[in-house]
Structure 1
Amino acid sequence: MTAVEGAPPDSSRPPQLRRQLGTSGLVIHYVTSVMGAGVLLIPALAWRVAGPLSLLAWGLLILYSFPFALIFAKLSTLHPTSKGVARFVEAAFGPRAGRIAAVFLLITLLAGNPVLGLAAGRCLLAAVDPAASNRAALLAGAAVIVFCVLVNLLGIKVSTGAQTVVLGTVVLLLAVVICLALPKGDHTRLTPFAPHGWGALGTALLICFFGFIGWENAAPVAEEVRDPERTFPRGIFYAVSCVGLLYFAMAFTVAVALPDTADGASDLTAFVRLLHVATGAGLESGGYLLAGVLLLLTTNAWCLGTSRVVFALARDGILPTRLSRLSAHRHIPVRAVLALLPGYAVSVAALLVTDSSEATLIKASSATYVLIFLMAFVSGTRLLPRGPVAYLNLVVVAATLAMLPFFGFSVVIALAMLLVSVAAERWLSRYATPPKQKRGTLT
């Protein structure tokens, strides 16, 4: 049941978020949740480890992303709450499994989300000081994360509205760069197709997969989507088509047109070098700025999705119930949004202390996202009604299981985090507050 705007809060029932996100808003949320690192950073990294073979990895994952996103959309339609994957697991396997999945999801999001904010800060700082130290870049990234958290205090409509304008401009500029750079490419670079051996396909899949993390980020906003049965299928089709086309176009452009460097240049400079190929001019600052803005948009979308997970877990008593209270005027989970700051601070502080880059988080967290997706798909085997989507889900389950061995030590990290989640759920359940005791709004 959705709260009526202007009506007094009902403190006898758990707080509910307003349905105010239409098809265009959902598409923007989908695209910005996925596209940052995938279009700017990962193509060059995948090319470096696998050469032209990386294009096969991109193609396989783009094909995988269509049923992947469709299943998430269908499950979100059947269970439109801000708990996301945890709600699917709960409906399929019971409350305790749902709580464990919820804790695992939250730990993964808090550990992995800072990647894009830190990369955004690195790019924005490089626009004014290319020689800045790693710790300075991390501090700039921390500032980006704080900015995105504050933007989310304005509400989902303001957040997605601002992203629509900026994202449209950025995508247009990316398309122009691709169109200008492609004619200057050298197609002989596509041979030999597997210069590092076919075994490099596994490494390329591991790297490219991070570019597709984010499709699940639409599930936590399902509670705020208008007419989800119509909005989700439309939103998913438009978003996956847009992202898939742009990803492969950028990966192919990197393959044929991005000059190789012998000095081990950072993958963050890949788009800047591609911009130089496209325009023939030294536009380093502009390239870093464009990359930073796109990564900032993705950070903002991830902050939105994660804050809704915090809100839902607090509403169910898994986290302190005060985090589920909504502001009286804007109906926004203010405390849940602000709770992201200490949550993200753990990963950022660890990188600062060790003087490591955000790439460390990519390698460490990739398999944890695969396990989260697998939880959703296995839940789907019980929840989806018989039909084409249910059969497609079985194929996706098999494909996801087949991918796990390619993730190497990252799988061990993911399993360790899952064990931590089991222990944390047991500890948290001792202090859980029954949902009926929750209050509705923030005074």
Structure 2
Amino acid sequence: MKNSIFRKIPVARPGNGRTGLKRNLGVFDLVMMGIGVTIGSGLFVITGVAAAEHAGPGLVFSFGIAGAACACAGLCYAELASSIPASGGAYTFVYAGLGEIFAWFIGWCLTLEYVVALAAISVGWSAYVSGVLPLLGLSVPREFLAGPFSGGIVNLPAMLIIFIMALLQLKGTKESARLNNLLVTVKLAVVIAFLILAAGHVQVSNYRPFLPYGWEGVSSGAAVVFFAYLGFDAVANSAEEVRNPQKNMPRGLLGSLAVATVLYIAVTLVLTGVAKYDSYAGVAAPVAYALETVGIQWGAALVSAGAIAGLTTGVLVFIGSQSRLLYSMARDGLLPQTFAKVSGSGVPMTAVACVCAAGSLLAGVLPIGTIAQLCNMGTLWAFFMVAAAVLVMRKTHPGLRRPFRVPAVPMIPLCAMGMCAFLALQLDRATWAAFGIWTLIGLALYVTYGKKHSRQKKI
């Protein structure tokens, strides 16, 4: 029993050398993918609330701390992605480094993160689009903008965007990357336009006091804004579709993190410089509010365009990431082989269809707000285990070729693990209870199917 649940896949060939995926992605595509999933509604919403309630202008330090914590995890991802360039991301890294039972746990955690995040983002997309449609003379009946638990029948726009992005995924990785790059360009253009338009209206007096809640507020602010970075790890799931992954994966992971951190800090500085930090209390759209404050009334339309583009890229990336995770787990025998089937366009078609169905169900029917925190729990565990895998594999595989190496080992991996543990403890008891139930369900599936059908059992 012990040997079976701790068995590992070979580090040199984690997929047993078999893959039907096509290598179409370069470093630019990876950076844009990471930006697409990290710079979304968080930038347009969380910045104002966090400044008003936690750190004031000192929120820039909060983003710096959160960015540093993510960078520690990102460095660990970069090392493993360069030395084990296989689809599946954290799941594959942990399978090779720690063993099968841990890999299943992380795969199950990431499934929770990706599917729930996919549904939550699509619901946000629906809300933004329903607000823009009246400007075009169109409308959607209210009963089709919310599920039965929220006073409606079904959230039709949320289901529709998932279906459309799933169809695009089925066309191929190159086509998906092109749309993602286009939408991320639109989103970045909107953010840069905001910075240019509002920067001239910054008043230094609004920065006083810079730390109204002290360093304690900066720390609590870091715990809040950390979640704005979640999703960059999805980039690692595309390793088998990347040209020269040994070099491009670390560049894509760390590059997207760097861009996201700079943009978050820049937007926070401008927001708190244009208006007093406490004026953002209760403001759901702080970027639009800031533009309106300086007399740019069409700011709401500008922000909506950026938010819609940002949320669309999030839906697209999460469908791709979750389908590649299912593909990897099925290839290893832990899930039915149907999820490992690849279409002529080089896409795991059954996995994409399954993700589309699950995400649509959650987005269209269930109350997302009650389970959204589970995304954070799944991600934090993935970060924690990847950092642990780096430490273990430095001991168990000292001769492994590592084109990218985490500096200052063991300090940086331990820092990542400590920060993840701290942030996980900030989540409420209900979230921990729900996560415990999810874990038990996953363990039951592993015992009844995965453990018996594991490809490593036959080796």
- TM-score if structure 2 supplies the norm length? 0.81
Amino acid at match of 1:165: L
3-state secondary structure, aligned to 2:109: helix
CA contact (8 A) 1:170 1:294 kept: yes
Separation (CA, whole Å) in 2 of partners of 1:368 and 1:185: 39
The superposition leaves residues 13-64 of structure 1 with CA deviations (integer Å, 9 ceiling, x where unpaired) of: 8553222211222222122121113322221221132122322211112233
What's the counterpart of residue 293 of structure 1? 309
CA contact (8 A) 1:37 1:295 kept: yes
CA contact (8 A) 1:79 1:88 kept: yes
Q: Does 1:106 align with 2:105?
A: no
Amino acid at match of 2:60: L
What's the counterpart of residue 25 of structure 2? 21
CA contact (8 A) 2:128 2:304 kept: yes
What's the counterpart of residue 5 of structure 2? none
Give aligned pairs, total: 419
CA contact (8 A) 1:324 1:333 kept: yes
Amino acid at match of 1:92: G
Q: State the 1:128 CA deviation.
A: 2.5
3-state secondary structure, aligned to 2:314: helix
Question: Structure 1: any 5+ residue segments left out of the alignment?
Answer: 1-11, 353-357, 438-443
Separation (CA, whole Å) in 2 of partners of 1:119 and 1:164: 21
Distance 1:346 1:393, change over 3 A: farther
What's the counterpart of residue 341 of structure 2? 325
Q: State the 1:409 CA deviation.
A: 5.4
Distance 1:396 1:191, change over 3 A: farther
Q: Does 1:65 align with 2:70?
A: yes
Aligned equivalent of 2:319, options 295, 303, 314: 303
3-state secondary structure, aligned to 1:410: coil
CA contact (8 A) 1:57 1:201 kept: yes
Name whichever of 215-224 and 277-286 sits farther off. Answer: 277-286
Question: Structure 2: any 5+ residue segments left out of the alignment?
Answer: 1-15, 147-154, 399-403
Aligned-pair identity (%): 19
CA contact (8 A) 2:21 2:241 kept: yes
CA contact (8 A) 1:35 1:243 kept: yes
Separation (CA, whole Å) in 1 of partners of 2:276 and 2:427: 31
Amino acid at match of 1:58: F
What's the counterpart of residue 441 of structure 1? none
Separation (CA, whole Å) in 2 of partners of 1:431 and 1:153: 28
What's the counterpart of residue 376 of structure 1? 386
Aligned equivalent of 1:83, options 79, 82, 88: 88
Separation (CA, whole Å) in 2 of partners of 1:277 and 1:423: 50
Separation (CA, whole Å) in 2 of partners of 1:62 and 1:288: 26
Distance 1:199 1:365, change over 3 A: farther
Amino acid at match of 2:264: Y
What's the counterpart of residue 30 of structure 1? 34
What's the counterpart of residue 172 of structure 1? 189
Amino acid at match of 2:145: A
Separation (CA, whole Å) in 1 of partners of 2:281 and 2:72: 37
What's the counterpart of residue 282 of structure 1? 298
CA contact (8 A) 1:23 1:232 kept: yes
Q: Does 1:431 align with 2:449?
A: yes
Q: State the 1:134 CA deviation.
A: 9.6
CA contact (8 A) 2:173 2:346 kept: no
The superposition leaves residues 301-328 of structure 1 with CA deviations (integer Å, 9 ceiling, x where unpaired) of: 121111111111222222222121111x
Separation (CA, whole Å) in 2 of partners of 1:135 and 1:20: 38
Separation (CA, whole Å) in 2 of partners of 1:263 and 1:231: 40
What's the counterpart of residue 119 of structure 1? 124
Aligned equivalent of 1:397, options 414, 418, 422: 414
CA contact (8 A) 2:51 2:278 kept: no
- TM-score if structure 1 supplies the norm length? 0.84
Q: Does 1:224 align with 2:224?
A: no
CA contact (8 A) 1:118 1:144 kept: no
Q: State the 1:407 CA deviation.
A: 4.8
What's the counterpart of residue 46 of structure 2? 42
Q: State the 1:186 CA deviation.
A: 2.8
Distance 1:366 1:99, change over 3 A: closer
